[in-house]
Chain A
């Protein structure tokens, strides 16, 4: 074993730069792999811990205080209930908020919970030490990391021009309202006195009630949600008349971690990509080494070393490199633990209470080491199988006389470019590999840019993807029908749509599911509806379901589905299938007439107003607020921007990672390639200098021997992105209910990708090639 270690150590000494590059890549891969694996495996623990500490509700409903007055009666008779609790809360339909007097003001909906209220279910955590004073507010933990709010900061609500100032007293963690991706509202704690004071002044602050239930162990919460929704609809029909929402913990738990899981999933994929690149380099490195040291291999074989021993030395070499790389990568991960914690906290919205994960570290180490060793074994098999005599003759039997590419006599391009191109074509296989690596990086970089553009920059596109229909401005509240008719008379208003929602039960064959159904007066006018098959409902006996539900029920277009609302069970024709992200893609849609047929009456809890062309959302909101000061018009983009913040953050982060890693890998590849070339062809450079080539000419020739490959790779990556990105992103989005989505990568981003990769490669190539300056022909010639 020591002899193998001895040979491996000496081999590594001979190819320090290769070893350094491979170690660098493995460090990076191990770091990203650890981040991906440890966060994905610990995310559940973090959320579960918060669930336990807060004794979070298994079933939750927010509804008007009046509507749920008799809710206890329903829960008294249910066997699955362990405990039930109602606590008052003030629902702020929309409020601006300012942190530390910053100029920009964001709009969002809030829940103001009286802090002193006793709670057994979904209690305040961590408990506030002392008594919360009237000017203090406890904000959700999400705001601390994602919005960089600190304890002691000034926090101010702005409602209809009136401001309500608070000092941030701390942050609370609530897994039910961890981040705005789940429920589009920030839950805050203030004193009851202050909450009442705000509610007294503001019409948009509604007196609501949180209804929370803990279920007995073993209860099927999906079934419970379905049954309890039926019962509430039947016994308390007034609960459907106001803005409300209800959910179960199992759905929320998934939603808490969704954006972070997507982000970390992509990091994991990128880590795997890096390992792939490291393996390609390993293969090249071993191949090059064998080529350069074939005589030494022959000598070792002649002196009695067996094939398996030489093979073992190569494997040992890669074992040492991958072991050092993965250990350093894991040490960096451990050092970056607090940063990672803050990052995860800002994505999930809960404190990341996980230390260094030794299990994940072991998995990372095993993956890095075993995969690298396997590739080393595979790559060196051919090399050690060469016969002793052939090896001692520098492998003459295998010598391949290449074609003379770009003969100088017939070529038209400048001499240095011609020589560069000769180098490229002389090592076709190697350059093809490099081209593939860069193509892959260009492809991933382009997808990153495309996702950023589609999801983070283009809010409209994101709303369409999510299926959030808010109009240009919208109202939430009661008695909106008459108000809507009045709003529609404004010349700046194009149209007004009326919406409500409620829980329904769908029965098809022996399968049944409970879903949230949106009711629209004119569904065919919806802007953000993506219909995959069929059309939007027109008649009162038609229903549209999301693909997730259709797959669950195994139902097809034209089938009859039985729907149970607050009235008796009715039959509906499935006229269309759409896609949604919200509610985990579990949604239904029918007309208001269809709702009346189902429930005997219709509800309107949301009014969407669409402005005429040329009227901006801001202008429309201002106009409506000035004309109807008694109601607050909310700007859809502002509101959704806040909801989409976590996904925005994830995408920005991913883009940054893609760009940084692409730059790193391109730099490494170019550095490795050119350094090897310069070392290997040092003699040729010396001769060229002696013949009269200037350093500048040789430098340019060297740069041109790699740059076209990198440029071509980047260009191909960008081109492949056009037809490859859609299916790839599509597969990822399918898991969250999106079946039809075409990623758009702006032309400017494609150009940026190619320019970025090429310029990075050019700079590194020039810096690496500068060493040509030091080559002195005399020294090389006299060394012989």
Chain B
């Protein structure tokens, strides 16, 4: 298995005056190509902090993150930006689409950062939009004219337009209803099946069971890991296994 990302002795401390809060404590982690890693944990356990430290969006206080053979911990902000555009994709809890741009432009604005060929990017964006069931009529609409689920699927397409090695998803269904949640998760599962490596933070069991590995984070330390294997729809045993694991972790 090819290792895409390695985090070693990762620490993140937030300081406010004399007060210090250690959010991540000597955390070690490896993510392999094709993984669908789910990071779970209670509120304030450091899930999102870990995700942002791994993706180069935030700098760890100590430790190192090596991604695609690059040691990114010492990178400047601009170098990190270039790293992110080339290797990472993001899906956030809120879709964060730009309301002043059409659906297609929201995706292309990200795609054009790595490929200047507008035609090629537009074709790719349209292909991906079709794949996530966003029909042609919606391409030139503004995000506010779409439903919440549609908006989040557009955000997923934006995240993968540059064919990133890693797709980071931070509670991607946190703001969606049940029907839209499943739709977005189906998209992510499908992408993973096609070989897309995904790292997802969630506190929703429905989301967690889509991953092939579940890591449990407590007080900045990974306290447990569960291997679930590839996702199969309607597999009750998988669900029970996860429920049992989480119970053990005190979730």
Contacts and interface: CB of A to CB of B under 8 A. Distances in A.
A784 B93 contact: yes
B142 A695 contact: no
Contact of B52 (A409, A410, A693, A778): A778
A777 interface: yes
- Centre residue among A402, A684, A691, A782 by max chain B CB count within 10 A: A691
B84 interface: yes
A406 to B, nearest CB: 9
Nearest to B106: A408
A422 B48 CA distance: 33
B91 to A, nearest CB: 11
The 7 closest A-B pairs by CB, nearest first: A692-B85, A408-B108, A409-B122, A404-B102, A687-B96, A778-B58, A694-B78
B140 A404 contact: yes
Interface of B: 48, 52, 57-58, 77-78, 81-86, 88, 90, 92-94, 96, 98, 100-102, 104-105, 108-110, 112-114, 118-119, 122, 140, 142, 144-145, 158, 162, 170
A781 to B, nearest CB: 6
A399 B145 CA distance: 11
A404 B101 contact: yes
A691 B110 contact: yes
Contacts of B142: 401-402, 404
30 contacts: A401-B145, A402-B142, A404-B102, A404-B140, A407-B140, A408-B105, A408-B112, A408-B122, A415-B113, A422-B101, A690-B90, A691-B109, A691-B158, A692-B82, A692-B83, A692-B84, A692-B86, A692-B88, A692-B162, A694-B77, A695-B81, A776-B58, A778-B52, A778-B57, A781-B48, A781-B57, A781-B92, A781-B170, A782-B48, A784-B94
Contact of B108 (A402, A409, A689): A409
Contact of A407 (B98, B102, B113): B102
A415 B77 CA distance: 20
Contacts of A409: 104-105, 108, 118-119, 122
Contact of B144 (A401, A411, A777, A782): A401
A426 interface: yes
A409 B102 CA distance: 11
Nearest to B100: A426
A369 B77 CA distance: 48
Contacts of B104: 407-409
A692 B113 contact: yes
Interface of A: 399, 401-402, 404, 407-411, 415, 419, 422-423, 426, 683-684, 687-696, 776-778, 781-782, 784
B94 to A, nearest CB: 6
A408 B118 contact: yes
Contacts of A778: 52, 57-58
Nearest to B105: A408
A684 B98 contact: yes
A404 B101 CA distance: 6
Nearest to A693: B81
Contacts of A776: 58
A693 B158 CA distance: 14
Contact of A683 (B48, B58, B85, B96): B96
A777 B102 contact: no
A628 B193 CA distance: 109
A423 B98 CA distance: 11
A781 B108 CA distance: 22
Contacts of A411: 118
B100 A694 contact: no
A399 to B, nearest CB: 7
B5 to A, nearest CB: 17
B81 A692 contact: yes
A423 B170 CA distance: 29
Nearest to A691: B110
Contacts of B145: 401
A128 to B, nearest CB: 74
A695 B105 CA distance: 20
B113 A696 contact: no
Contacts of B92: 687, 690, 781
Contacts of B90: 690-691
Contact of B81 (A407, A419, A689): A689
A415 B112 contact: yes
A106 to B, nearest CB: 61
A693 B108 contact: no
Nearest to B102: A404
A693 B114 CA distance: 10
Contacts of A694: 77-78, 81-82
- Centre residue among B118, B122, B158 by max chain A CB count within 10 A: B118
- Centre residue among A426, A687, A696, A776 by max chain B CB count within 10 A: A687
Contacts of B52: 778, 781-782
Given A690-B57, A778-B57, A415 B102 contact: no
B102 A695 contact: no
B113 A691 contact: yes
Contacts of A687: 92, 96, 98
Contacts of B88: 692
Nearest to B168: A690
A415 B109 contact: yes
A734 B58 CA distance: 69
Contacts of B122: 408-409
Nearest to A399: B144
Nearest to B110: A691
Contacts of B48: 781-782
Contacts of B170: 781
A696 B77 CA distance: 11
Given A407-B105, A692-B86, A422 B81 contact: no
A401 B142 CA distance: 7
A422 B158 CA distance: 19
A407 B105 CA distance: 6
B239 to A, nearest CB: 29
- Centre residue among A419, A690, A695 by max chain B CB count within 10 A: A690
Nearest to A777: B57
- Centre residue among B52, B81, B93, B98 by max chain A CB count within 10 A: B81
A693 B86 CA distance: 11
Given A687-B98, A692-B110, 13 more contacts: A404-B142, A409-B108, A409-B122, A415-B109, A415-B113, A684-B96, A690-B90, A691-B85, A691-B158, A692-B81, A692-B88, A695-B78, A777-B57
Nearest to B174: A784
A407 B93 CA distance: 27
Contacts of A693: 81, 85, 113
A401 B102 CA distance: 10
A602 to B, nearest CB: 81
A422 B104 CA distance: 14
Nearest to A410: B118
Nearest to B108: A408
Nearest to A683: B96
Contact of B100 (A402, A691, A695, A777): A402
Given A683-B96, A684-B98, A691-B84, A408 B109 contact: yes
Contacts of A691: 84-85, 90, 109-110, 113, 158
A693 B78 CA distance: 8
A422 B118 CA distance: 17
A404 to B, nearest CB: 4
Contacts of A419: 109
A716 B144 CA distance: 36
Given A694-B78, A777-B57, A422 B110 contact: no
A408 B116 CA distance: 11
A696 B78 contact: yes
B247 to A, nearest CB: 28
B147 to A, nearest CB: 15
B120 to A, nearest CB: 11
Nearest to A419: B109
Contacts of A415: 109, 112-113
B105 A404 contact: yes
Contacts of B108: 408-409
